[in-house]
Structure 1
Amino acid sequence: MGTCKHCGITIHDNIKVCPICSHSLEMDGTEENTYPEIFEKLRKKNLSMRIAIAATLVSCILIIILDYHFSAHLDWSVVGIATLIFAAHTMYSFLYQKRRLFSIISGLLFRLAILFIIVDYVIGFYNWSLNYALPGLFILENINLICFVFLDKKNRKSYVYYDIWIVLSNILLLILEAIELIQLKFFVTISIQTSIVVFLCLLIIGGLSARKEFARRWHIRKK
Structure 2
Amino acid sequence: MNRCLKCNVEIGDDTGICPLCRCVLLRDKDLKTQMKYPAVGQKKERMKYAVRVYVFAAILGFVVLCIINYMSGAAVRWDLLTGGVLVYGYLTLQLSFLNQNGYRFTMFWQTLGAMALVIFIDGILGFQGWSLNYVLPAGLVLLDIAVGVLMAVNSRNWQSYIPVEIVMIVLSLIPLFLHHIHVTDQWYPAIGCFGISIFLFLGTVILGGKRAVTELKRRFHV
Superposition TM-score, scaled by structure 2 size: 0.76
Structure 2 partner of 1:188? 190
8 Å contact 1:64–1:74 — kept in the other structure? Answer: no
The residue aligned with 1:127 is 129
CA distance in 1: counterparts of 2:73 and 2:207, whole angstroms: 56
Match of 2:202 in 1: 200
The amino acid that maps onto 1:58 is L
TM-score, length basis structure 1: 0.76
1:75: Cα distance to partner? 3.0
Deviation string, structure 1 residues 92-116 (Cα, Å, up to 9, x no partner): 1111111121111111111122212
Q: State the Cα distance separating 1:215 from its structure 2 match.
A: 3.4
| Structure 2 residues not aligned, in runs of 5+ | 1-32
Alignment of 1:31-180 (within 5 A): 33-35=35-37, 37-71=39-73, 75-180=77-182
SS of corresponding position for 2:126: coil
Aligned pairs, number: 190
One-letter amino acid of the structure 2 residue matched with residue 166 of structure 1: M
Deviation of 1:69 after TM superposition, in Å, equals: 1.4
CA drift of 1:43 comes to: 4.5
User: Which is bigger in relative contact order (C-alpha 8 A, separation at least 6)?
Assistant: 1
8 Å CA contact 1:75, 1:122 repeated in 2 = yes
Partner AA of 1:197 in structure 2 = F
Deviation of the 1:74 alpha carbon: 7.8
- Please list every run of at least 4 consecutive aligned residues from structure 1 whose deviation after the TM superposition is greater than 6 angstroms: none
The one-letter code of the counterpart of 2:200 is: V
Q: Distance in 2 between matches of 1:34 and 1:73?
A: 59
Letter in 2 for 1:102: R
Quote the sequence identity (%): 23
CA contact (8 A) 1:102 1:148 kept: no
Alignment root-mean-square deviation, CA: 2.2
Q: Deviations over 1:2-31 (max 9, x none)?
A: xxxxxxxxxxxxxxxxxxxxxxxxxxxxx8
> Could you tell me which amino acid in structure 2 is paired with residue 114 of structure 1?
A
Structure 1: segments with no counterpart, 5+ residues? 1-30
Per the alignment, in what secondary structure is the counterpart of residue 96 of structure 2? Answer: helix
Q: Distance in 1 between matches of 2:103 and 2:160?
A: 14
